[in-house]
Homo-oligomer: A and B are copies of this chain.
Amino acid sequence: MKIDELYALLRRRGVLWPTAEIYGGAQGLYDYGPLGAALKRRLESAWASWFVGRSPDYYLIEPAEIVPEAVVRASGHLENFTDPEITCDACHTSFRADTILEKVRPDGVDGLSPAQIEEVVRANELRCPKCGAKTLSVPTAFNLMFDLPFGVARAERAYLLPETAQASYLAFARMWEVGRKALPLGIAVIGRAFRNEIAPRQVLFRMRSFTQAELQIFFDPAAPPGRLGPHGSEKVPVLRADRRERGEGSTELVSAEALVAGGLPEFYVDHLVHMLRFLRDVLGYPADRLRFFEKSEKERAFYNRIQFDAELFVESLGGFKEVAAVHYRGDYDLRRHGEGSGKDLSVSRGGTERVVPHVLELTFGVDRNLWGLADVHLGRDGERTLWRLPPYLAPVSAGVFPLIAKEQRPFAERLAHELLAAGVDAEYDEASSIGKRYARMDEAGTPFCVTVDGLTVGDGPEHGTVTVRARDSKAQERVPASELAARFAPSLRPPRPEIP
């Protein structure tokens, strides 16, 4: 589906809509309705199972989203978290530089200095996209952080976190005390990040308030975490930076072992594969719509030593889009916060030797992937509109219908209640025809529909049995109602990583 069609469907079904919709919305802000909120919770829980669940030394915390200025000064965001912005001197509209340069530099402006951007504007005689004038200003740096008037005097400065990662770095010293006092130590956050984007667009892909799921693994560079093991033979779709620079722009499938042989560290490739498996095996993205896009030294932030962005081909947006990433950040973060706070963030590596831990960051855009799950799995199947979500991600696990409400309502309501009490997210529905109820559940991605009929409440041999209809195959089966919870349970739990 195209973006407009998909967005209209998601809006109509109450998956999401613009914040303050009755006031005309607010740019870059969205509310999740019942289906969207439930899908988001399940996606977050699947992420936590897969990433935080990989080691007993990985912990999920929930930090505040506001930090004092000293934090963003030390992290470098106060100085560097900017987008080049160009204003039209005629109509006074501001634009992201990459919007202005879109046609002549479709790859964006990463790595270009303001002077270089200005040069491109001049050389191509670019015009204001709004009024058409050639009066575009010199690019300036626009800081994307939201600052807050904090405290009574409004003199203290505080900032909404531009990335959840910072909260994990701040928590390292405390978590070292709380945990086993050993490396590797993982600190994960699923939380909000805030960016005053110059040009919010593409619905959930550039928002001003959004949810990140990030795991920071702190480790001793002399003993990095992660061995390839059975991951060695996995084929990873990569687009290497050096090949791109030589103009060879196609994705290759390279085995994990070969990536290591080619010079990437084993621990890094191991986590690249772990991410690939999450996107492909847990979220169900088709392998041929995924690629790992390596950022060159110029393109990545200076503190990132290695960076591959996981990209999904998003049909509704017409191209590959970043949905996750694996960053090897070195010791930059703890070093800077150690300097900024005056607190020694090095730890003992046994004996008297100390080390400032390095960080491997696994980052994942929750909202973008929620859109990804709609883009990939929601579509038409003949007459039906069907959301083929993996069952453990579906907002509603089971629809429960009485065939004839006035006859089977008590049994069906009781069954829905029992399923809920047993941990199955059941939804009772008695409105309109069975066909329409199936259709509503198909659109919501509900994997199982349970119908209570005359036989269920009758005296015959089928007393107490119900019809279960599978979403994708439409296959129906007669099952004792009392066995439903146990039958559904295994498919409703997200996959977990193996014991290493």
Give chain A's interface residues, CB within 8 Å of chain B: 12-14, 17, 19-23, 26-27, 29-34, 36-38, 40, 49, 53, 56, 59-68, 70-71, 85, 94, 142, 146-153, 158, 160, 167, 170-171, 173-175, 177-180, 192, 194, 196, 198, 208-209, 337, 340-341, 343, 345, 413-414, 417, 420-423, 427-428, 431, 489, 493, 496, 499
In the complex, the chain B residue whose C-beta lies closest to that of A499 is B417
Interface contact B420-A209, CB-CB below 8 Å = no
CB A429 to nearest CB in B, in angstroms, measures: 8
In the complex, the chain B residue whose C-beta lies closest to that of A495 is B421
Interface contact A33-B146, CB-CB below 8 Å = no
Q: How far is the CA of A466 from the CA of B387 in the complex (A)?
A: 43
Interface contact B496-A85, CB-CB below 8 Å = no
* Contact for A20 among B68, B148, B420, CB less than 8 A: B68
Interface contact A37-B61, CB-CB below 8 Å = yes
Q: Which residues of B contact A56 (CB under 8 A)?
A: 427-428
CB A2 to nearest CB in B, in angstroms, measures: 22
Some 30 contacts from A to B, beta carbons below 8 A apart, are A14-B174, A14-B177, A14-B179, A19-B63, A19-B170, A20-B67, A20-B68, A20-B71, A22-B337, A22-B343, A26-B64, A31-B167, A32-B63, A33-B59, A33-B61, A34-B178, A40-B62, A66-B208, A85-B152, A94-B153, A146-B148, A146-B149, A148-B148, A148-B160, A150-B196, A152-B196, A152-B198, A414-B499, A421-B496, A423-B489
Q: Which residues of B contact A431 (CB under 8 A)?
A: 180
Interface contact A499-B413, CB-CB below 8 Å = yes
Stoichiometry, copies per complex = 2
CB A422 to nearest CB in B, in angstroms, measures: 8
Interface contact A62-B413, CB-CB below 8 Å = no
Interface contact A26-B496, CB-CB below 8 Å = no
Q: Known contacts being A32-B63, A33-B59, A171-B33, is A493 close to B22, with CB within 8 Å?
A: no
Interface contact A64-B209, CB-CB below 8 Å = yes
Q: Which residues of B contact A150 (CB under 8 A)?
A: 26, 146, 196, 208
Q: Known contacts being A21-B173, A21-B174, is A62 close to B37, with CB within 8 Å?
A: yes
CB A370 to nearest CB in B, in angstroms, measures: 11
Q: Which residues of B contact A14 (CB under 8 A)?
A: 174-175, 177-179
Q: How far is the CA of A480 from the CA of B338 in the complex (A)?
A: 50
Interface contact B153-A65, CB-CB below 8 Å = no
In the complex, the chain B residue whose C-beta lies closest to that of A421 is B496
* Contact for A19 among B64, B148, B413, CB less than 8 A: B64
Q: Known contacts being A14-B174, A62-B40, A420-B53, is A196 close to B149, with CB within 8 Å?
A: yes
Interface contact A65-B209, CB-CB below 8 Å = yes
